[in-house]
Structure 1
Amino acid sequence: MISRYIYTLVLHLLLPSILVRLWFRGRRAPAYRQRWTERLGFTPPLVSSTAPLWIHAVSVGEVQAVATLVRRFLQQHPEIPVLITTMTPTGADRVRQLFGDQVSHRYCPYDLPWAMSRFINITRPRACVIVETELWPNFLRQCQRQQIPTLLANARLSERSARGYARFAGLTRDMLSRLSRVAVQDHSDAERFKALGLDPDRLKVIGSIKFDVEINPQWAEDAQQLRQHWGAARPVFLAASTHDVEESQLLASLPELLAAYPDVLIVLVPRHPERFDTVAQLCQESGLSHVRRSQSALPIATTQVYLADTMGELMSFCSAADIVFVGGSLIERGGHNPLEPALLGKPIITGLHTFNFAAITQGLASAGALVQVSNTKP
């Protein structure tokens, strides 16, 4: 199909700038410069000669979403290796934290035909599970060419994303035709996929696997230790998975919150580790008393902001907090998963931009467990 050829040509033309951008991202997050050849399909062979189940989870959120599924698969099929690919180092770190050496991790190649072909020839997966809506034309074509069944799991498609795919209708229909099965989160997602051309016979509504989160007893133990340091009676407000601009808005609004609750501790958890130093500078410029977890500093009674600039501890912080703001929602990012703090019984605040989790957000709001706000004013 001509649309895919044009897409592939454009991607090849952009490849030098993509690699340069990767290198510059490595200035703030050195992990982006590590194993970079894997992004071109030069991936190390797997230890086992048995064909693995390949799970593609683009970053942290997708890895977390599929964690329960992976654990159950490992228990029920210990003879089948699992290969998980991500696109980000934070996703890679989360794979290691959750599964250690129980699974293999590789970076997924860029969507170039020769890179994807080389990757598949080396890893030889028996099937591929793509988490949520990570659709790439050459990825799917190479899987089909090498007779690798593909399942799009926990699929979601917001109205905004559907409009974007519809602009490239021919390319989108071609991609959807190569999927073996699509398991969507709800009926609204299903209707959008069908409108884009997906065969209804390959579509099934199963709900969100993000409801399958298992409570880890370690979170409560960690939370108890955190509260001993923070102050057992002190109110704690957690701003989780925040993005650029959101931290500035939150920090600007905190004097009013502190005027109403002088002893409140704000725990700030930026979404991306390469922004930790930037957010630390924002805290410095705000004039608020703050400490950084990465420097092993503990908050004292006068500390107002605790910058949680570490990875893999978010659920422990959620467990220790009294109220949770879920980031990515004050800007048009679409929000992050509010189910995790809800699972722990925490009151939740989000912004209005929650299209990534529209049904979940609406359900929690209807149950009185979540409040949406248009700005950061207390």
Structure 2
Amino acid sequence: MERFIRKLYSLLMWAAQPFLRRKLSRRGHAEAGYLEAVDERFGFYTQPAESASELVWVHAVSLGETRTAGILINALRGQWPGLRVLLTHGTATGRAEGVGLLRAGDVQVWQPWDSEAAVARFFMHFKPRLGLLLETEVWPNTVACARARGVPMALVNARLSDKSLHQAARIAPLSRPAYAGLAAVYAQSDSDAARLRELGATVQGVFGNLKFDATPDEAQQAQGRQWRQALGQPVLMLASSREGEEDDFLKQIVALALSTRSQAAINTVAGAHVQVLIVPRHPQRFDEVQALVEKHGLSVSRRSAWAGEPQAADVWLGDSLGEMALYYAMSDVALLGGSFAPLGGQNLIEAAACGCPVIMGPHTFNFAEVSELAEAAGAARRAVDMDEAVRSARAMLARPTTQQVAAAASLTFAARHRGAAANTVQALAHFLGR
């Protein structure tokens, strides 16, 4: 049965390739990066073929995973300075971020589409000695091909939500061999480990989250704190927002402004103006979010237009990549995007490391463990919906001492959970040699 299911899956993946090409073409109109080296996704490369198994393959599908990969790669190079990396991605933002991680001798290409032929060409061309998959990226044909070629595959910083477990369980003849085929799994939490074991994975360690070992950019933090101090009023951020959340947020902001009878369009908290900042999760939505803000009758100032300092406007729009440390340092409190719609939330670790308290919505299933730990530590609060979240932020900003206590708790929480990178490197010595 398992063999039949995987053959059927392989046939579907082969048949879907023309549709993938069309999808990439459409996405390329909004993000040109998707039009780059499209043939790599199907196992055709311009890079020279490797003659020996030297490369360590690190797969980081998108922006967040690529930043996490940077933490791991730096730690690995601290132990093995001559390490050569084969870095793959699935999204344009991940690939763009990954460029900064490359050194001489490294290779960067798209993740191979999980058809038998594309994956076989990938392994034959690059001959990786080890594969490291970040967080959730387990693909049946990729794992099967690696096993057939004797390439150990490890899932690092691994997480698996209840929702993903139930989805995988419905296709157990396909998912169980893939998880069982991994040479090792290093989970973020005990709960993740238990769910991964249910799918047949060999969990060899629970190390916490690699993101705790990231050091937010000091220059960005200093700039953010300077701008916030010069502003002289609290900053409320909607961080990594997703479609639908900005509209809900802006409705609450406008309603609150009207309820306080402020003549300005901006939110008023306890008699003091509050600067609103929105940072969308996906760059292709920057223009869309600006139009939405203006539709609500509010003025917008975009980060990309700031010459030396933020420009006055009802709403600041964070339309840059790689500057979340700046935005968190500018903010007194952040509402966590992706958690007010049933999308599973975003990771709040960087906010905590920058000393920015977080208010999260009801949907944090993708980061359940860290969200619960942050709430218990006083670094985050929970709200049932956007209305309650804005009101909770209003209450915090009206009491500076409360905000300061939450900010200190955030820094303590972030510091307490570091160490996953060192533990992961120690575990990987089994594959890379001591």
Alignment partners' CA distance in 2, 1:39 and 1:156: 25
Alignment partners' CA distance in 2, 1:116 and 1:99: 23
Residue in 2 that maps onto 1:24: 26
Residue in 1 that maps onto 2:176: 173
Amino acid at match of 2:268: A
Do 2:242 and 2:338's aligned partners in 1 also have CA atoms closer than 8 Å?
Answer: yes
Helix, strand or coil: the match of 1:66? helix
Q: Deviations over 1:196-236 (max 9, x none)?
A: 2234xx532222222212243222233245437xx331211
Q: Deviations over 1:63-107 (max 9, x none)?
A: 122322211212321222112111001011211245576843211
Residue in 2 that maps onto 1:182: 185
Asked whether 1:328 is paired with 2:334, we answer no
State percent identity of aligned pairs. Answer: 34
Alignment partners' CA distance in 2, 1:238 and 1:187: 32
**1:187 Cα deviation after fit:** 1.6
Q: Deviations over 1:141-172 (max 9, x none)?
A: 11112211111001111111100000011111
Residue in 2 that maps onto 1:370: 380
Amino acid at match of 1:238: M
For the aligned residues, what is the CA RMSD? 2.0
Of structures 1 and 2, the larger Rg is shown by: 2
- After the TM superposition, which residues 1-378 of structure 1 pair with which residues of structure 2 at under 5 Å, given as runs? 1-45=3-47, 51-99=54-102, 103-199=106-202, 202-224=203-225, 226-227=227-228, 231-255=230-254, 256=256, 258-261=266-269, 263-296=273-306, 299-301=310-312, 303-377=313-387, 378=391
Q: Deviations over 1:1-21 (max 9, x none)?
A: 111111111222222222111
**1:241 Cα deviation after fit:** 1.0
Report which stretch shifted further, 7-16 or 179-188. Answer: 7-16
Alignment partners' CA distance in 2, 1:103 and 1:223: 34
Amino acid at match of 2:367: F
Report which stretch shifted further, 261-270 or 141-150. Answer: 261-270
* 1:309–1:47 CA distance, 2 compared to 1 (3 A): farther
Residue in 1 that maps onto 2:410: none
* 1:46–1:347 CA distance, 2 compared to 1 (3 A): farther
Alignment partners' CA distance in 1, 2:83 and 2:48: 13
Amino acid at match of 2:212: F
Alignment partners' CA distance in 2, 1:101 and 1:232: 43
Alignment partners' CA distance in 2, 1:48 and 1:275: 39
Do 1:268 and 1:305's aligned partners in 2 also have CA atoms closer than 8 Å?
Answer: yes
Do 2:50 and 2:127's aligned partners in 1 also have CA atoms closer than 8 Å?
Answer: no
Do 2:181 and 2:201's aligned partners in 1 also have CA atoms closer than 8 Å?
Answer: no
Helix, strand or coil: the match of 2:46? coil
**1:26 Cα deviation after fit:** 1.1
Equivalenced residues, count: 373
Alignment partners' CA distance in 1, 2:322 and 2:187: 27
Amino acid at match of 1:93: A
Amino acid at match of 1:338: L
* 1:100–1:16 CA distance, 2 compared to 1 (3 A): same
TM-score (norm 2): 0.81
Alignment partners' CA distance in 2, 1:345 and 1:203: 33
Alignment partners' CA distance in 1, 2:218 and 2:306: 24
Alignment partners' CA distance in 1, 2:151 and 2:25: 32
Residue in 1 that maps onto 2:406: none
Gaps of 5+ in 2: 258-265, 392-434
Do 1:53 and 1:82's aligned partners in 2 also have CA atoms closer than 8 Å?
Answer: yes
Report which stretch shifted further, 177-186 or 91-100. Answer: 91-100
Do 1:190 and 1:203's aligned partners in 2 also have CA atoms closer than 8 Å?
Answer: no
